[in-house]
Amino acid sequence: MAVQFLLGTFISVINIMIHALVTVAAIDIARTAGLKHTTQPRSHLMAAMVTIAVILMVAHTLEVLVWALAYALVGAAPEGSELLYFTFVNYTTLGYGDVTPVQAWRLTGPMTAMNGILMFGWSTAVLFEVLRKTLEHLSAIAASGFNSGDHQELRADAGPGA
């Protein structure tokens, strides 16, 4: 069981590093794009959100591939199972239960799920921050057709200290 825990921790750390790198890049892209003046603020906001969401989805896919590689190296997936499907089910915490890890590696499934849910929560926070900052910028430049009240509503929804 200790080997499973160490493997799961090692792969989780690799994925945290991937997510950190992608997050920094995504925020840099959003910051650069967000500082531009625009005559189409709603399209600008939508483009920023879609771009960041796609970048984060690519990060999640890379993270799933890292887990799939680890599963393949240690033989954690049952014989004859579709490795990528098996990994995605664990990482997304979908939990169909139609394919489970081999007995010797059964701790890797929950560790993959724990890693995945952490990364999805992180991505949600990044998306919300990009939305908040973009709305803040659009309000600051008084973009035409932009309701500055949108930014205030978003801050109120975020709770105290937002």
For residue 144, the model assigns a pLDDT of 66
pLDDT above 70: residue 92: yes
Residues of the chain with pLDDT > 90, as a percent, come to 52
| Cβ atoms of 8 and 116 closer than 8 Å | no
**pLDDT band at residue 121, thresholds of 50, 70 and 90?**
very high
- In the predicted structure, residue 155 carries a pLDDT above the cut 60: no
Round to whole Å and give the CA distance between 67 and 58. Answer: 14
Query: pLDDT averaged over the chain?
Result: 86
| Interior/surface letters 11-21, b for 16+ CB within 10 angstroms, e for the rest | bbebbeebbee
d(CA 17, CA 11): 10
